[in-house]
Structure 1
Amino acid sequence: MYEDIGGSADGPAAGPGRGGGPGGGGGPAGIVDELTALCARLPAGSALPSTRELQRRHRASALTVQRALAAVAARGLLLTTPGRGSVVAAPPASRSTDLSWQTAVLGARDDLPHDMTDLYSPVPDGVLDLASAYLDPAAQPVGLLAAAAARAARRPGAWDRTPVAGLPDLRGLIAGLVSPSHTASDVLVTSGGQAALALVFRALGRPGEALAVEHTTYPGALAAARAAGLVPVPVPADGAGVRPDDLADVLGRSGARLVYLQPRHANPTGAVLAPDRRPAVLAALRDHRAFCVEDDWVAPLDLTAVSPPPLAAADPDGHVVHVLSLSKSVSPGLRIAAVTARGPVAARLARARITDDLFVAPVLQQTAVELLSTPGWRRHLASLRRVLLARRAALLAAIARALPTLGPPQPPSGGVHVWLPLPPGADDRLVTAAARRAGVAVGPGSAYTVGEVVAPHLRLTYSRTPGEGLVAAVDRLAAVLHDG
């Protein structure tokens, strides 16, 4: 069967390129050539020479033969089954490529978001990124993270299982960031802020129930809520955050038992819930026996003013479920967040958490412990604030120069976003698409809006692009708006 391929079936192939000398020193190139030729000539399913036969034929070691088989298998030309040897694979053209049957089986899912893919996919090379809220590599504490990860990997238990709630040391550190009255037992570690929101909405809400949200809010939270079967109901908000009277009204009319708020540097508007509104918000929660999911996504990124403590710090009765994330202030790869809650709700969250991924990788948790415990953490935050302040100033100055006819955006006191008003009647999605073609990625305001859009906006982020890039991006955006 194989006589015409590199020699007889009874003896080794000879000649250059067909193996090496005795002792298995030959390379796999000749074996790859032979197998490739066989796969091209023989029908699918035909048996190929055994490993032992290829060793003898090419005077090669078992390892060399295995490497050659793996190389040919990687091209899709052969299949290897343990105990049965290798056979010629069916050519791609003979395999079914009709995947349309999946559409009928999957059915429709209106709760799965379409905007999220566009909003959170990395932008192509050459496009200036004013859409992503993550830090660019130059602003990330890469050295600090590398040192923390190296120490973490050597710590006892770094690669073992951990408690479902997370490492006690990390939970204690996060509790201290929420309030002095919270303890490690109140904290549940999760794989990033988005996973935390999905967990809370699924555990605390019931399909079909209302979820009260600010009328302009984080689309990732809306996506997680809808995936849990919740129905977002908008609550009016302004530059001072959610309006307490309107919140109480919506809770009364909708019957919502769950509220989602961003009291500090709200995404996308940058609003901070005013101190004089906070007692009234907590009173509305108490009066309507509701839970509030407090998304504290950029807690350490105050820039020009110190924001008030979390709502959870002033809530002794367990109405506020606090979510804190490290990704935005450190690195997108540090997928560490935490949910802080008290009472039976904490037990409910812990039980629901088990069905997600059992626990967060301990080495990642240990890295976060090392990071938060080192003096370099505070130095990183101080440096990061200086970087963001400079970028914020560059972006606002570029807007004032290149887009003087637009209403000036409210300078955010922290966070990473500028909420840019567009001319009345403008279609923010068309502007977004045109800006992308011009080499600028921005966020369309309507993607952040629940209900009707009151006025068109764009979300411009200054965390991902250095100052000179921000200026160039605004110039491109101005040209787009000028061209209509």
Structure 2
Amino acid sequence: MNDDSSSRIAAALRDWIADAPPGARLPSTRTLVARHQASPVTVQRALRELTAQGLVESRPGVGTFVRAVRTARPSDYGWQTAALRAPQSRTPAVSTAMRSAPNDVIALHSGYPERELLPERLVRSALTRAVRGDTTLSRPPVAGLPELQSWFAHELGAASPVGVTPPSPSDVIVLPGSQSGLSSLFRALVAVGQPVLMESPTYWGAITAAAQAGVRVVPVPSGPDGPDPDELARAFEESGARVFYGQPNYANPTGAQWSVERAEQVLEVVRTHGSFLVEDDWAHDFGITSTPRPVAAHDDSGHVIYLRSLTKSVSPALRIAAVIARGPARERILVDRGADSMYVSGLLQAAALDVVTQPAWQTHLRSVREQLRARRDLLLDSLHTHAPQAHVEQVPTGGLNLWARLPDGTDLIDLVTRCERGGLLIAPGTEWFPAEPAGPFLRLNYSGPNPSAFPDAARILGQALELPGSR
């Protein structure tokens, strides 16, 4: 018998339970085997399913009984308001991008690539090998497995020009995902209540991490080529900030990539003000028509703190990232990481290292580049045909998202609701602004499931924008 058989038995028992009084004893396993012509294993699987659903309870040596329904009473947690007092900072709610989507909707809201864009066979093979190794039962160093530290250092060092000292493996701290890294960076580098500069718009997770660290965000407007150096310099001077968070390559949400000239100008401003640039290279593996150009590759004086993630490109189940920093800043970050999580699972580190050192990894990345190009262009064409009101000013040269400007006066909350009723999930752009939004925007992810539905998605969006009340 297979899982379908156990599910059919469970369904039949659910009907029986619906008419039975609480505490009624279910037929014995032997009776159920004969009645449904199933194996004992299949019957037990069905009973475990009902137990997990809270419908029955097993009493060893006695039998299985219909579970009594417990009447729920309203819970009063009002006392916690007085105990907790006011929060130190108002942390933004979890982003729409993290919302799980039902199978029957078109999902353009998520921030993660779908399964077919991941190196599934490499990941499965890597995990199989990792569980056979020493990392299964050993504690790794706080800063990470030396071999993985070396890989991260070598990758960035390969992009360093002649005359710039590349990072060493000892400059690398392995992280359980880049989100926890952002929290550590803000805690280690910015005192509570002090300012941190951020591009606007920018990654919602960085805004959240800053709020959790209790630091004050100062937005710096950023365009297709990156932030204006003069505006950045003025922000440093007026705020007294010593940290600037930016995404030079395929920014989330806009997809912008800093030009070579702009990157040099920004780095010069940071150096002039004796400050740090926190470079979030989250989409390093998602170039489409360009390659990533890490700013950190051009700095050996400790001004750039480089954050590199493998989570989205390898697997969301292998939350592995790294921060590369030099000098006292690196030591402060390491102390914070040790206090926060002690160390990162050696098993996951070994699996991630296995994946990215396989020859097939580069082959996979080339395939992903072409798939992302096709998906991006299909969504762009679909918007142009069915939702021309959603204007994409800049076609991204990499990353996972389109950043669409909507007509002035668009009610984003109403629009999101209308689209969801039509079977489309979208992410309102307000979540990516550290201050007031510069206008109504949507972030549309083209790496999600079912790209063949992009034309239908654009049609739903275009119709929702045309309905009265959308603006």
Which TM-score band (shorter chain)?
0.7 to 0.9
What is the aligned partner in structure 2 of residue 171 from structure 1? 149
CA contact (8 A) 1:134 1:327 kept: no
How far apart are residue 129 of structure 1 and its match? Answer: 1.0
1:354 aligns to 2:338 (yes or no): yes
Q: What is the distance in 2 between the residues matched to 1:403 and 1:95?
A: 48
Q: What is the distance in 1 between the residues matched to 2:72 and 2:447?
A: 49
CA contact (8 A) 1:409 1:418 kept: no
Tell me which amino acid in the other structure corresponds to 2:202. Answer: T
Question: Is the partner of 2:265 in helix, strand or coil?
Answer: helix
1:455 aligns to 2:439 (yes or no): yes
How far apart are residue 90 of structure 1 and its match? Answer: 12
Question: Is the partner of 2:278 in helix, strand or coil?
Answer: strand
CA contact (8 A) 2:314 2:355 kept: no
CA contact (8 A) 1:217 1:448 kept: yes
Q: How does 1:1-150 map to 2 (within 5 A)?
A: 92=70, 97-109=75-87, 111-150=89-128
CA contact (8 A) 2:309 2:320 kept: yes
**Residues 117 and 421 (structure 1 numbering): CA distance in 2 closer, same or farther, change over 3 Å?**
closer
Q: How many residues were matched structurally?
A: 412
CA contact (8 A) 2:88 2:214 kept: no
TM-score normalized by the length of structure 1: 0.79
Question: How big is each residue's C-alpha offset from its partner over 1:15-50, in whole Å with a ceiling of 9 and x where there is no partner?
Answer: xxxxxxxxxxxxxxxxxxxx9689xxxxxxxxxxxx
How far apart are residue 109 of structure 1 and its match? Answer: 2.8
How far apart are residue 193 of structure 1 and its match? Answer: 1.1
Q: What is the distance in 1 between the residues matched to 2:135 and 2:384?
A: 54
Q: What is the distance in 1 between the residues matched to 2:57 and 2:373?
A: 56
Q: What is the distance in 2 between the residues matched to 1:376 and 1:108?
A: 52
Tell me which amino acid in the other structure corresponds to 2:97. Answer: L
Q: What is the distance in 2 between the residues matched to 1:222 and 1:384?
A: 29
Tell me which amino acid in the other structure corresponds to 1:211. Answer: V
Question: How big is each residue's C-alpha offset from its partner over 1:421-473, in whole Å with a ceiling of 9 and x where there is no partner?
Answer: 10112122332232222221111111111223222110000011332122221
Tell me which amino acid in the other structure corresponds to 2:106. Answer: L
TM-score normalized by the length of structure 2: 0.82
What is the aligned partner in structure 1 of residue 270 from structure 2? 285
What is the aligned partner in structure 2 of residue 432 from structure 1? 416
Tell me which amino acid in the other structure corresponds to 2:81. Answer: T
**Residues 129 and 96 (structure 1 numbering): CA distance in 2 closer, same or farther, change over 3 Å?**
closer
Question: How big is each residue's C-alpha offset from its partner over 1:370-395, in whole Å with a ceiling of 9 and x where there is no partner?
Answer: 10110111111111111111100110
Q: What is the distance in 2 between the residues matched to 1:348 and 1:276?
A: 31
Structure 2 segments unaligned to the other structure (5+ residues): 1-21, 26-46, 61-66, 159-165
Tell me which amino acid in the other structure corresponds to 2:381. Answer: A
Question: How big is each residue's C-alpha offset from its partner over 1:175-203, in whole Å with a ceiling of 9 and x where there is no partner?
Answer: 12222411211110111111111111111
**Residues 119 and 103 (structure 1 numbering): CA distance in 2 closer, same or farther, change over 3 Å?**
farther
CA contact (8 A) 1:135 1:331 kept: no
How far apart are residue 144 of structure 1 and its match? Answer: 1.1
Tell me which amino acid in the other structure corresponds to 2:267. Answer: L
What is the aligned partner in structure 2 of residue 233 from structure 1? 218
1:265 aligns to 2:237 (yes or no): no
How far apart are residue 413 of structure 1 and its match? Answer: 0.3
Question: Is the partner of 1:162 in helix, strand or coil?
Answer: coil
How far apart are residue 474 of structure 1 and its match? Answer: 1.1
What is the aligned partner in structure 1 of residue 33 from structure 2? none
CA contact (8 A) 1:268 1:418 kept: yes
**Residues 397 and 96 (structure 1 numbering): CA distance in 2 closer, same or farther, change over 3 Å?**
closer
What is the aligned partner in structure 1 of residue 19 from structure 2? none
Q: How does 1:305-324 map to 2 (within 5 A)?
A: 305-308=290-293, 310-324=294-308
Alignment partner of 2:428 out of 430, 439, 444: 444
Find the structure with the greater CA-based Rg. Answer: 1
Where has structure 1 moved over 6 Å in runs of 4 or more?
74-80
How far apart are residue 284 of structure 1 and its match? Answer: 1.2
Question: How big is each residue's C-alpha offset from its partner over 1:98-125, in whole Å with a ceiling of 9 and x where there is no partner?
Answer: 3332333233337353432533121233
**Which region of structure 1 is more displaced relative to structure 2, 298-307 or 266-275?**
298-307
Tell me which amino acid in the other structure corresponds to 2:432. Answer: Y
What is the aligned partner in structure 1 of residue 131 from structure 2? 153
CA contact (8 A) 1:444 1:459 kept: yes
Q: What is the distance in 2 between the residues matched to 1:103 and 1:436?
A: 34
CA contact (8 A) 1:135 1:332 kept: no
Question: Is the partner of 2:292 in helix, strand or coil?
Answer: coil
CA contact (8 A) 1:111 1:223 kept: no
**Residues 93 and 254 (structure 1 numbering): CA distance in 2 closer, same or farther, change over 3 Å?**
same
1:386 aligns to 2:366 (yes or no): no
Q: What is the distance in 2 between the residues matched to 1:257 and 1:190?
A: 23
Q: What is the distance in 2 between the residues matched to 1:378 and 1:268?
A: 26
The root-mean-square deviation of aligned C-alpha atoms, in Å, is 2.7
Alignment partner of 1:218 out of 191, 194, 203: 203
What is the aligned partner in structure 1 of residue 16 from structure 2? none
Question: Is the partner of 2:311 in helix, strand or coil?
Answer: coil
Question: Is the partner of 1:459 in helix, strand or coil?
Answer: strand
Tell me which amino acid in the other structure corresponds to 2:443. Answer: R
**Residues 134 and 187 (structure 1 numbering): CA distance in 2 closer, same or farther, change over 3 Å?**
same
Q: What is the distance in 2 between the residues matched to 1:389 and 1:91?
A: 54
Q: What is the distance in 2 between the residues matched to 1:184 and 1:171?
A: 5
Percent identity over paired residues: 37
Structure 1 segments unaligned to the other structure (5+ residues): 1-34, 39-66, 81-88
**Residues 229 and 79 (structure 1 numbering): CA distance in 2 closer, same or farther, change over 3 Å?**
farther
Tell me which amino acid in the other structure corresponds to 1:400. Answer: H
CA contact (8 A) 2:282 2:307 kept: yes
